[in-house]
Each structure stands twice: as C-alpha cells, then as structure tokens.
Amino acid sequence: MINLFQHLREQAVAAPLIELLEVVTNASKEIAFRVRHGALAGVLGSTQDENIQGETQKQLDVISNQLLKDLLLACPHVCAIASEEEDTVVAGNSAGEFIIAFDPLDGSSNIDINGQIGTIFSIYRAQKNLAANDEAQFRQPGTQQVCAGYVLYGPSTLLVITTGKGTHTFTLDATQGTFLRTAKDIQIPPDTKEFAINMSNQRFWNQSMRNYISDLVAGESGPRAKNFNMRWNAAMVGDVHRVICRGGIFMYPSDNRNPKQPAKLRLLYEANPMAMLIENAGGKAWSESQRILDIQPSALHERVAVILGSANEVETCLGYLR
C-alpha cells in the first residue's frame, strides 16, 4: 500500500502543497487521538461560548480549531486561514502561497454520543495583490480550489482527498501514524435508492422539494416506481462519506424556518470542499439553481443549499426544482 505522500508525488503535486498537507494531517492525527480517548482525554461537553454563527461551542470544536490554527500558522506556506470557529480571517505568512478554509470539527452534535465527526478543509492559492488578512482572499469560487478533503473520525480514521485528479481514500495506520491509500479513483454510482435529508424540516421546504421527497417516499407504487431508503447521520462528513462509498443523494435544501438564514451549510468549508470531492468522483453537487463550485462567495461564513451525490439522482431532484 502506498502512503499519502507517495501518492501525492505520484500525482505530481508540488512540494509546498505536500508540506501543507503534512501539517493538516498532523493536526488531524492529534484530533483523532483526542477523539479516540473521549472522556478520558477530558474533551467532551460544551464550553460557555458561542461561535460567530451563534452555535454553542463544544470543547472538541475549540481544541480542534486551536490545534489546526497553531500548526497551520506555523507553516510558511500558509498565507491565511478561515475557520468555522473564527469570526474573521487570520493572517499567516504574507509570502505563503496558500490559503485554507476549514471546519475543524464537523458534526458537533455527534461528539458526546461517540458518533461520526470530521475535519473538512479547502485550499486555494493566495492572491498576491491582497493583504493576508483581507477577507477577499477567500472570495474565490470553488473551481479555484487546489485541494479539498475531509478526515472522518469514525471506527477508522480516514482521509478522503482530491487535488483535482480523482478522489482517493487513505486509512490511518495508527501504529505507524501513516495514512495509507485504501481506495483509488473512487466512482460514485450515478443511480441510487438511498437519500439523506433532515425530514423534520419538511414543513419549511418549498413545494417542489416536498414533491420530490414525497415521490421518493412513495416507493414502488409512486411515480419513481422504486423503493428508496433513508439515512441521516447529522454530520455532513458521515453522510457524504456514505455517498462516496456507495452512492446516494444528500440534501440540505433552503427552507423558511428563519428568514435571516435560508440555508444551513457553509459554502467555504462545507459545500465547496465536498463538491470538489464529489465531482472528482463522478458525482454532481448543486445548490438548487447553481453548481456549487461556480458560486462567487460574498462572505466568509456564507451559507448555501446543498444537493449532492449520484449524478442522475441529483439531476432528477433538480428537475423538480426548475
């Protein structure tokens, strides 16, 4: 089995990006260690604080953010970072060639129940004409990402990554501290019988989304003439990983629960990296009326609707919304 760095060299990834990914994976190994020890490491439970999004921060959110932040800011290739847990852009080395956005610990509600959680990251080239701490550094559409990935802390610790040449999985061999390639050039099946959505929000969706889901639920006797199964992990990394492993459609559509926040998932460090991974595995990732990777970001913590997964099923869903 070849390890992550052999794989990256095989893909002709330049040394600075490889070195940056070494930093990201070192941080993730530290996080994985703490996750594995749970209550014994004293990392469970909430803090007294809220993040910029008004969500209560879990201890592990804060610890993971600090680990990533400290290691990334010490890396000479990092010009700036943006994190779910930071209000604004944090400047690194102004000469660094990359900027990185990340959700240090996705799926926070799963922390205390020993469920799947993960770190999601998205890397772009720094814009030399802008100051390192300028928020505009991150106003680049997802098509400009040079690398995207997530580390899933589940029964195994997995890294799923793309540098634009396919999507690949690496499993952490904890005895060696090495990520070994365990799936190469993943291809998401274009058709599926599995969907993921938080059904409790149904009354807040628009009529087209309700119609689509109701036709899935109608099964064999409905217009789709096949039975669908539903899964909801409540951690995007877990749900997207299932889609990457065996296909499916994952949706967090817009809704009218809170007029100030019509969508839930964040563009920069959730939707964009997942969209790059999904597209590189032959899937499709849209935000209702637009391909996610084409969205021009307007704010650091901007939220977008997300519909991604098996290409034909995403297309069918979008057909209802047009």
**Chain position whose Cβ is nearest to ligand F6P:** 236
Q: How far is the CB of 115 from ligand F6P (least distance, A)?
A: 11
User: CB-wise, 78 or 305, nearer to ligand F6P?
Assistant: 305
- Sequence-ordered list of residues with C-beta below 8 angstroms from that of 189, at least 6 positions apart, any chain: 246, 247, 310
Helix crossing, 59-73 with 15-37: angle to 10°?
Answer: 150
Print the binding letters for residues 66-105 with ligand F6P: x by CB under 6 A, - otherwise: ----------------------------------------
For residues 230 and 245, give the distance between their C-alpha atoms in angstroms, rounded to a whole number. Answer: 16
Q: How far is the CB of 62 from ligand F6P (least distance, A)?
A: 16
* Size of site (CB under 6 A) for ligand F6P: 11
Q: How far is the CB of 165 from ligand F6P (least distance, A)?
A: 27
Contact assessment for residue 249 and residue 243, using Cβ atoms and an 8 Å cutoff: yes
Contact assessment for residue 216 and residue 309, using Cβ atoms and an 8 Å cutoff: no
Q: How far is the CB of 220 from ligand F6P (least distance, A)?
A: 28
CA-only gyration radius of the chain, Å: 19
Q: Of 216-235, which residues contact ligand F6P (CB under 6 A)?
A: 234-235
Q: How far is the CB of 286 from ligand F6P (least distance, A)?
A: 16
Q: Please identify which residue in 92, 104, 107, 149 interacts with ligand F6P, judged by CB under 6 A.
A: 107
User: E-assigned strands of the chain?
Assistant: 46-50, 56-58, 78-83, 90-91, 98-106, 117-125, 147-153, 157-162, 168-173, 178-183, 194-196, 229-230, 249-252, 265-266, 284-286, 303-304, 306-309
Q: Please identify which residue in 72, 78, 236, 271 interacts with ligand F6P, judged by CB under 6 A.
A: 236
User: CB-wise, 63 or 126, nearer to ligand F6P?
Assistant: 63
Give the phi and the psi of residue 36 in degrees, each rounded to 5.
-60, -35
User: CB-wise, 270 or 313, nearer to ligand F6P?
Assistant: 270
Q: Which residues bind ligand F6P (CB under 6 A)?
A: 106-107, 198, 234-236, 239, 252, 264-265, 270
